[in-house]
Amino acid sequence: MSRKDIGMLGFEIVAYAGDARSGLLEAIKCARNGEFDKIDGLVENAQENLNIAHAKQTEMLALDAQGKDLDIGIIMIHAQDHLMTTMLLKDIVYDICEIYRKR
């Protein structure tokens, strides 16, 4: 896989993780505003985007496990960082929304 191909895969990961992140932050905003009926849909949509981004990441991991020589640039490093922080955010959003629900 060429550096360009890996970069494009990185852009896909960033895009899907970014969409997930936006939805998760919107879920917190909805919780803050008492719009609890919107939260589940936003979190589910975010999870779908994270699943796609994770599948793209798994493609890279599989290639690496096969011993393929991967020329990874800063875009892929950024993508990995973006994905992992968004996955962490998803884990936290549920608890934050629950705190708002119980207020």
Q: Which domains does the chain have, with CATH numbers?
A: 3-101 (1.20.58.80)
Closest CA to 6 of 67, 83, 77: 77
Q: Is 78 annotated as catalytic? A: yes
Closest CA to 5 of 65, 56, 62, 80: 56
Q: Is the pLDDT of residue 103 over 90?
A: no
Sign of the CA dihedral 8, 9, 10, 12? positive
The band of 3, judged by pLDDT with boundaries at 50, 70 and 90, is confident
Selected catalytic residue, list 25, 48, 63, 78: 78
Q: What is the pTM of this model?
A: 0.91
Position 84 scores a pLDDT of: 97
The band of 90, judged by pLDDT with boundaries at 50, 70 and 90, is very high
Q: At what angle do helices 39-65 and 3-32 cross, to 10 degrees?
A: 160
29-85: per-residue pLDDT in tens?
999 999 999 999 999 999 999 999 999 999 999 999 999 888 888 999 999 999 999
